Chains A and B, each alone.
Chain A
């Protein structure tokens, strides 16, 4: 069974600090996909990134970067020079390719990030 663990529940930083959100996953599939979503106070989840299990290249998008390491089953998310607008709940999620048309996302419990001015 697939599982996503986000051990950090709440993180508070001061603006301009760097912050890393951890994500550890479990799956028996060799082909799977990892996601990060952001949930601002308005409630909807906003897609941030998708990574497949065969692509271990790290990705950078502006102030955001992601570190995928299959050896430790981790897919961590770093925000550089955090801003108040980054305050939100962040979810890591996993889906397995063998589920085919019945694939579904399994989410971690989320990390509440508060960025103070």
Chain B
């Protein structure tokens, strides 16, 4: 089945540790996105990538890093510099990064930092 797979579904980490969230898609989509969701805050864009080996910062990129070495993969690293990393993280993709294309979302990773 085609879709977006995020893993793991739940992730626990100690404060000060870096952690990488996985996002894989087999939809052959060019564009991929990472969003952060906090209660009452909606979805905020962290990073996005329109093509392989290229990505741009979103609205809240500080404390995060990404790579796009393959079309189907867009991992997100939450670094120790992120002051409040506990949140629900959603990965999405679209056929192309244009305004009129809808995005398809994964089931999310809930990160808890203790």
Contacts and interface: CB of A to CB of B under 8 A. Distances in A.
A35 B108 contact: no
Contacts of A32: 99
A108 B42 contact: yes
Interface stretch (A67-75, A79-87, A92-100): A92-100
Interface in B72-99: 88, 90, 92, 96-99
B22 to A, nearest CB: 15
Contact of A43 (B45, B103, B108): B108
Contact of A109 (B41, B45, B106, B108): B41
Contact of B104 (A9, A47, A102, A104): A47
A33 B42 contact: no
Given A9-B40, A45-B90, A50 B105 contact: no
Contact of A44 (B58, B97, B106): B106
A105 B98 CA distance: 10
Interface in A100-117: 100-110
A102 B108 CA distance: 23
Interface residues of B, number: 27
B42 A110 contact: yes
B100 A104 contact: no
Given A44-B90, A100-B99, 5 more contacts: A9-B40, A44-B105, A45-B43, A91-B43, A110-B42
Interface of B: 33, 35, 40-45, 48, 50, 56, 58, 88, 90, 92, 96-100, 102-108
17 contacts: A6-B42, A42-B107, A44-B106, A44-B107, A45-B43, A45-B105, A46-B105, A100-B98, A101-B96, A102-B56, A103-B97, A103-B98, A103-B99, A104-B48, A106-B45, A107-B35, A107-B43
